[in-house]
Amino acid sequence: MANFNIDSKQQRTFDTIVIGSGISGGWAAKEFTEKGYKTLVLERGRDVKHVTDYPTTNKMPWEFEHRNRLPEEIKKENPVISKCYAFKEDAMHFFVKDKEHPYVQEKPFDWIRGYQTGGKSLMWARHTQRWSNYDFEGPARDGFAVDWPIRYKDLAPWYSHVEKFSGISGNKDGLAELPDGDFLPPMEMSCVESYFKDVVAEKYKNNRHVIIARCAHVTGNAEYYAKQGRALCQKRNLCQRGCPFGGYFSSNSSTLPYAMQTGNLTLRNHSVVHSIIYDEEKQLATGVRVIDAQSKEMIEFYAPVIFVNAAAFNTNLILLNSTSNRFPNGLGNDSGVLGKYVAFHNYRAKISGEYDGFPDKATFGRRPTSSYIPRFRNVFKQETDFLRGYAAGFSAGRTIDMDTNGLFGEELKESMLNPKYGPWRVGSHMMGETIPKEESQLRLDTQKTDEWGIPQLKVSIDYDENDEKMIADYFEQLEEMFTAAGFTNIRTRDTNQAPGLDIHEMGGVRMGKDPKTSMLDKWNRLHACKNVYVTDGACMTSTSTQNPSLTYMALTARAVDHAVKNLNA
């Protein structure tokens, strides 16, 4: 029996353990296995195999029982997740339902999650922008949060590294505030978007810009991506169902299959991480405790390096629950800031309008992205009464107005065969940076546990005066820009949605130079436990305005390179 136990421990020992198989976890797996390290990836959800497990990917609209709408019963059962734009009949099997993993909302927060192989990389929105030095320098300039321990030059080669492998469509725009990357051919703007771009450039003397969005879609270099088993984006715009062509980047279509081909990857599903094991003599982490989601059995796995990529809030939860004599308040939490200074992106503000120009033109096809307005407020200097700034999406399209009311027979047939186009409709939504504050925090509930016996997460995050001022400025500036372009019927709307629907929660395990005020060093390593790395959204010191996933990928690849050098030292 003793020998059996020894053998069992050997079978549960790896070179590296990665917690989570989403965007950052998939990249950690790919980088480690490619370098020859036996890697265990722990995923709390079920397995989802590329192509095989996308049950709705090729369904026609009439094949859905409710025509892709949510039945009222499902809405009532899921008041949080049903608010998400992608939670519909065609993709709801990829989302965590409200009862499946409860949490405590001290203040309203809509926590959107995907528990399966690939995590949310299956249904993310795929916008990808680099940060600039202006973003990394933000906290140092205005004194909120702490200074980032890195700058753009530290991450630039790693941005290139992940862009080339993932496939990022975009245009080289030459903007200091939004660095260019290694791009595949860009998507095309509609004629009204191009017109708006020219109006903005002329009116604001190139201090504001409208560009085509940069997105994780394969639009060129087909031969290279075919080696990953991926094809060019078919522009179906059904991405949230899972793409059978691998036309957009996901862990399932790209990094995980690549890692599996090395023979060095072990993927264990239904593995709910309870905590990280800390050895007080070695002053290092030695492994991970897992609750098997099906049997509820606790199992331990061991490795000399651990990457925590469970997605921002769950990464905080795991570290908070990893207590010991050395770390009674959570692993690595000497500073006391674990779970604090959490932030997100403010998506509450929207504006719409119409345009009477280009009556002889219309949009055709399904472009799976939009145009984009990079941040133009407080970039080069502080110019407003609020801190930081906002980026914005922008799109213009034309829909068919088909009025069939009261028609039948020949008239109905004639109307359907000869549709008429309505006006051009334009729209924008704000992507505002929120300020990390100590009172914006995550804690463990002392009374409530989930079905695996792990404390539930308590979320206490809200908007503040800075957010309200930013919304007001967005409305004022975008209305001015829309008016300059001759758009009419301009309407602003504050959705008043709770934080969370941006699905860009960040922080709680922030990077920093000083161990007294931060959790991670410049290599994404815990200051107080040098073999544990965090490279998902939890590591972010501030949020800037860009969609964050590309930065997580780059940080992960960079951190793996550092960990490997330490392993080989």
What is the per-residue pLDDT across 442-475, written as a single tens digit (0 to 9) for each? Answer: 999 999 999 999 999 999 999 999 999 999 999 9
367: left (phi over 0), alpha (psi -120 to 50) or beta: beta
pLDDT digits (tens, 9 = 90+) for 197-245: 999 999 999 899 999 999 999 999 999 999 999 999 999 999 999 999 9
Q: Is 386 helix (H, G, I), strand (E, B) or coil?
A: coil
Is residue 405 scored above 90 in pLDDT? no
Q: Say if residue 249 is exposed, middle or buried (CB neighbours under 10 Å; 0-12, 13-18, 19+).
A: buried
Confidence class for position 169, pLDDT limits 50, 70, 90: very high
Q: pLDDT above 90 covers what percent of the chain?
A: 92
Q: In the chain, where are the structural domains located?
A: 170-213+345-433+463-498
Is residue 3 scored above 70 in pLDDT? no
Pairwise pLDDT comparison (419 vs 540), residue with the higher score: 540
Among 112, 114, 66, smallest CA distance to 93 is for 114
Among 443, 544, 529, 532, smallest CA distance to 148 is for 544
Residue carrying the six token digits 């949020």:
543
Q: How many helices (H) and strands (E) does the chain have?
A: 13, 21
Is residue 412 scored above 90 in pLDDT? no
Cα–Cα distance measured from residue 436 to residue 147, given in angstroms and rounded to the nearest whole number: 12
Confidence class for position 413, pLDDT limits 50, 70, 90: confident
Those residues whose C-beta lies under 8 Å from the C-beta of residue 85, and which sit 6 or more positions away, are 501
Cα–Cα distance measured from residue 524 to residue 285, given in angstroms and rounded to the nearest whole number: 15
What is the model's pLDDT at position 7? 67
Pairwise pLDDT comparison (212 vs 144), residue with the higher score: 212
Contact 170, 215 (CB under 8 A): yes
- Average pLDDT of the chain is 96
Q: Give how far the C-alpha of residue 426 lies from the chain's centroid of Cα atoms, to the nearest Å.
A: 25
